[in-house]
Amino acid sequence: MPLLFLLLLLFSPSTAHADPPGSWGGLFSRHGSAGVWIPENGALTVEAALSFSSDSEFSYLGTNKGLFRRKGAGEWVKLEHVPGSMPFSLLPAGNDLYIATEEGVSLSSDRGNSWTLLREGIFFSLVSDGKRVAAGGKDGVFITGDRGRTWIPAKGIPPGDVRSMASGPNGIYAVLSGSLYQSTDGYEFSRVEINREKKLQAYCVYYSTPVKKLYLATDEGLMTSEYGTNWTRTRKHKDIYYFSPVISMAVNPLNPGIIHIASEDAFIVSRDGGENWEADAEGLPSHRPVNLVVFPDAVTDKVYALSSTMPYQFITEQAMKRIDTKKVLVMTAGFIGALVIVAAVSFKFVKKHYKRGE
């Protein structure tokens, strides 16, 4: 009886701690650095929001249920025929829209109405330096300079899981296995030394175009640099503000002192350039991790937060397991098909010779 009471207490809904609309995960927005986050899901219910982008006409939202599009403040409409079901990254480039999913990198030139799969694989991040598009994923970084017709594996960066990338004044940056890599020509990477005295664990890299500065989240706080060299810690105090693994960050384009960080176990904000940090979850669903924080427009201070019902690491791992399972099923189906063909040929052969022997 006490166990039953405890279970009812834990899992029964409570009006005193009720979550706001969109508590299943989704898109939230706010103007400025303070105030309540406002849900923008509308009638859309998703377990995880993964990516967000906008152009002059539409907004795009990648979720665990696929890619959605809306015009203005209208309702979200699911886009069909998108390769993959997990849009981890969206990259607008002129009239083009690139998408990275668990099935590969795809391109749409008509605002999401039709898609072309450019490169197969599991990809999590996309950036562009204006000349090339770089895609980071399970097997490292791949570069294209011809809108995806050909892809070149990046040199100098070992194969591995790349989930954070940025394009800055001195090339393209990527985080792999706790290290930061830089490419000045868009194709060949080299490891960046952040701290000569001690190796720091790099989590996430970000470039703010209005501020013209690189930001790097590490296990010992936030670092900044103008050209990828001479990194300095934002926190001037002698004590260190330790971060849990950071998934995403964004800097207010109108007020660079406001920095948002989404980590594996917290969503925090600094209003003094990284000196001090505090929780920033008012209006967000309780106990729901934030996967992404983004300022899509460099001329306003409207910021978006994307939340989910499960950790981002778990989502990506499930996507990889799904692809592995799919490959096994395809291979199994092919093997069974081959056995059927062999059996049919053998049956005809046996039948033919059996008749001859009669």
Percent of the chain with pLDDT over 70: 80
Tell me: the pLDDT tens digits for 254-284? 999 999 999 888 899 999 999 899 999 888 8
- Mean pLDDT for 133-138 is 96
- Domain contains 210: yes
**Domain final residue, candidates 268, 284, 309:** 309
Q: Do 323 and 197 share a structural domain?
A: no
In the β-sheet with 278-279, what is the strand arrangement from edge to edge?
246-251, 259-263, 267-270, 278-279
The CATH number assigned to the domain holding 194 equals: 2.130.10.10
Residue 153 within a domain: yes
Is the whole model's pTM more than 0.75, yes or no?
yes
- Given 277, 293, 309, the domain boundary residue is 309
Residues 204 and 285 in one domain: yes
Task: Evaluate if residue 42 carries a pLDDT over 50.
Answer: yes
Residue with tokens 């009812």: 8
| pLDDT reading at 338 higher than 70 | no
Q: How far apart are CA 199 and CA 332, in angstroms?
A: 45
Question: Is 178 in the same domain as 289?
Answer: yes
* Number of structural domains in the chain: 2
Tokens of 191: 């490891």
Statement to judge: residues 66 and 129 lie in one domain:
yes
Tell me the residue range of the domain where 159 lies. 40-309
pLDDT digits over 276-320, tens only? 999 998 888 876 788 899 988 778 889 999 998 877 777 878 777
Residue 88 and residue 50 in one domain: yes
Closest by Cα among 123, 224, 221, 220 to 168: 224
* Domain-embedded: residue 4: no
Average pLDDT, the chain: 83
* Window from 21-30, 82-91, 97-106 with minimum mean pLDDT: 21-30
29 inside domain: no
Residues 291 and 349 in one domain: no
Query: Do 80 and 163 belong to one domain?
Result: yes
Region 347-353: mean pLDDT is 55
